[in-house]
Amino acid sequence: MAEAEETIFCKIIRREIFADILYQDDLVTAFRDIRPKAPIHILIVTNLLIPTVNDVTAASEAAVGRFFTVAAKIAKQEGIDENGYRLIINCNHHGGQEVYHLHMHLLGGRPLGPLVS
């Protein structure tokens, strides 16, 4: 992996920029998206700067695994665990990735429709 450039998420993780943080531990941080695409739109990011899914290594597997336990916990807190929600990880330009810092979107609060149209 090439040297990654610091992202806005790095500053949120360090609390240098305000975000509505719902969860933080030594591996991941979760906060509300400032441009929500659904009534509930939360980003779960790795605390370690990993640019894309392609850059995940054995050393970062624990953080990536934590995405899913934190997503389930937050979905329950937000009251969307029963009706359902969507988890999305975008990778690179064609995948729709805008911030090159590995993150997962948790979306819910209404029927989300087809994945790709």
pLDDT tier at 6 (50, 70, 90 boundaries)?
very high
Is residue 117's pLDDT more than 90? no
Residue 2 belongs to a domain: no
Give mean pLDDT, residues 71-82. 98
The domain of 20 spans 8-108
For residue 113, is it within any domain?
Answer: no
Identify whether 22 is part of a domain: yes
3 state SS of 32: strand
Q: Is residue 100 part of a domain?
A: yes
Asked if residue 79 belongs to a domain, the reply is yes
pLDDT at 13: 98
Calculate mean pLDDT across residues 53-71: 97
* Spatial distance between the Cα atoms of 46 and 67, rounded to a whole number of angstroms: 8
Number of domains observed in the structure of the chain: 1
Residue 88 resides in a domain: yes
pLDDT value of residue 8: 97
Q: CA-to-CA distance for 73 and 22, rounded, in angstroms?
A: 10
- Is 101 considered catalytic here? no
Spatial neighbors of 51 by CB under 8 A, at least 6 apart, are 1, 4, 100, 101, 102
Predicted pLDDT at 114: 87
Q: Is residue 20 part of a domain?
A: yes
115 within some domain: no
Q: Is the pLDDT of residue 5 over 70?
A: yes
Please, what is the average pLDDT of the chain? 95
Percent of the chain that is helix, strand, coil (3-state, to 5): 25, 20, 50
Query: Annotated catalytic residue: which of 93, 94, 101, 103?
Result: 103
CATH of the domain at 67: 3.30.428.10
